[in-house]
Amino acid sequence: MTPRHSRPDGAEQNLEAAVREAKEARDKAIADADKTFWTRIAELKGSYRGAQTDIAGFLGVTRDAILKGIKKHAGDKPTS
C-alpha cells in the first residue's frame, strides 16, 4: 500500500475549515437564488386567471408544487 503523503501540522483542520466556509457560502447563495426565484413566481402567478397553471406547465411541476415553493421560499402566504 502506498504511504500517505506527509502534511504540515494543522493542514487537515485548515482544509476542513475552508471546505465548511465554502459550503456555507454555496448554501447561502442557493437560498438567496431560491428566494428571488419564488418571490418572482409569486408575483407572476397573479398576472391573470390561470397563470399559476401555465407557470406549473412551463416548469414541469404541479400547481401544488408552485404553492409549496412560494410558501417555503418567498416567506409570504400565497395569493390565489
Domain borders along the chain are 13-74
Q: Which band of pLDDT confidence, cut at 50, 70 and 90, is reported for residue 57?
A: very high
With a cut of 50, say whether residue 46 has pLDDT above it. Answer: yes
Distance CA 25, CA 67 (A): 27
With a cut of 50, say whether residue 11 has pLDDT above it.
yes
Residue that has been written with the C-alpha cell 417555503 in this structure: 72
Arithmetic mean of pLDDT, 48-60: 96
- pLDDT category at 62 given cuts 50, 70, 90 is very high
The pLDDT, as a whole number, for residue 56 is: 97
Nearest one of 37, 8, 28, 23 to 45, comparing CA atoms: 37
The pLDDT value recorded for residue 7 is 77
